[in-house]
Amino acid sequence: MVTTTNRSPVRNIPERSSLLGVVEFHPRLAIVVVFLTIVVAVAGWRIFWEPGALRINALADEAMAAFALPQVENAPVASLDFSEAERRILDFSGVSLKLPRDVSGFVVSSVERRTMRKRPAVGVRFSYEGGRHILVVFRKENFLGRKPLASFPDESLLSGERDGRSFVFWEREDASFIMVSDTDVIQTFKLVRSFFT
């Protein structure tokens, strides 16, 4: 008795061919490898070129949340002595920051330790010209990546507005700063340029 099997002759030919006779070429595997390479390259490019923007957005979100926490409408603002405020900033962060002492209406209400983006920071709450502000100071943090600091201070200032609040971020050699305010971004930007850069 002769047994027959239903085998297609096409099945016996392997799905590969020789690439110039040197290596075996698998078309399906090649398509998958090319696709994965493109995906990894695009993701790597985004991570390499945009880490600063993502970090600053996350930092701005946390700073705005910190700004909103203890705010009570029409609450009296207690005044903190400038020397004491500067001493606390230095003690808590290791950053020497000079506050504008001879400016009418500039009142520091508190200096507090904070943790933002899992890093130790200092939050300085103050009021000026009817606006409430918080200045967050980080020691030797480089949120913008390894990019060198700008030659002119205005080039390193990043600003934005969200939900009626504005923020300005900037860096210097020994520290990074972000200020959040309930005023518009132009006034916050002017305040930063006038007193802190």
Which H helix or E strand runs over 162?
strand 158-162
- Angle of helix 27-49 versus helix 51-68 axis, rounded to 10: 50
Nearest alpha carbon to residue 137 among 188, 163, 176: 176
| Range with lowest mean pLDDT among 76-85, 103-112, 146-155, 182-191 | 146-155
Q: How confident is the model at residue 132 (pLDDT cuts 50, 70, 90)?
A: very high
Nearest alpha carbon to residue 160 among 152, 169, 151: 169
- The pTM assigned to this predicted structure is 0.65
Q: What is the pLDDT of residues 76-93, one digit of tens each?
A: 456 788 999 999 999 998
Which token pair is 19?
Answer: 């690439």
Residue 103, pLDDT > 80, answer: yes
Q: What is the pLDDT of residues 25-62, one digit of tens each?
A: 667 777 888 888 888 877 766 655 555 667 777 888 88
Question: In Å, how far are 23, 24, 25, 62 from 35, measured between CA atoms?
Answer: 21, 19, 16, 37
What's residue 25's pLDDT? Answer: 61
For the residues 129-138, what does the mean pLDDT come to?
91
What's residue 180's pLDDT? Answer: 94
What's residue 77's pLDDT? Answer: 53
Region of 169 on the Ramachandran plot (φ > 0 left; ψ -120 to 50 alpha; else beta): beta
